[in-house]
Amino acid sequence: MKSAFRYLMFAAVLLSPGGMDSVQAADVPMPLFVATPQELSITRSASETTGVSQVSGQSATVLHGDPMKPGLYTVLLRLEPHKRIMPLSHPDSRFVTILSGTFYVAFGDTYDETKLKALPPGGIYTEPAKANHFGETRDEPAIVAITGYGPSGTTYAAPTTPHTATK
């Protein structure tokens, strides 16, 4: 509970007028953007985007900021059906929102399908810095929005094994 409270306080500071001013001042101005999940164009290969898993059949679009640089960023990530993301972590803490589809996520150093929790559209979870997590899609694609404060990156828990799998 203490951990969730810490993230809520962090979000409150960022969303306060002073917090947003400091983020905006340190970052590029935020562009105006309005879209439904169906209107999103996410076509760039995820292999070209820092801070996301490198699953074949995955694409990403950076909406704001630059995950490689210090500052606030948001990335949209699209996963095709039947994709697995093997355990990995990031150097930065992040907040994830499921926009469409269902994404299954869990935390741990090894992939364990019995731990996965189904998150439908509107579902959220946090990725604390350096916390290994894993996930998958099943019969439908999923679009998630990832927001963090860079620089970001990706470290796999088992770098000698394949990072991704098609179920």
pLDDT digit string (tens) for 122-167? 999 999 999 999 999 999 999 999 999 999 999 999 875 555 554 5
Superfamily of domain 32-166: Jelly Rolls (2.60.120.10)
More confident residue, 5 or 35: 35
Q: Convert the pLDDT of each residue in 87-101 to its tens digit.
A: 999 999 999 999 999
Alpha-carbon gap, residue 115 to 103, rounded angstroms? 13
Q: Is the pLDDT of residue 73 over 70?
A: yes
Q: Are 148 and 73 in contact (CB under 8 A)?
A: yes
β-strand partners of 78: 59, 143
Q: Is the pLDDT of residue 5 over 90?
A: no
Predicted pLDDT at 105 = 98
Q: With pLDDT > 90 as the criterion, what percentage of the chain qualifies?
A: 54
Q: Which of 85, 82, 78, 94 is nearest to 42 (CA)?
A: 78
Q: Are 82 and 135 in contact (CB under 8 A)?
A: no
Per-domain residue ranges for the chain? 32-166
Q: Convert the pLDDT of each residue in 46-64 to its tens digit.
A: 776 766 776 777 888 888 8
Largest CA distance in the chain: 46
The whole model's pTM is what? Answer: 0.76
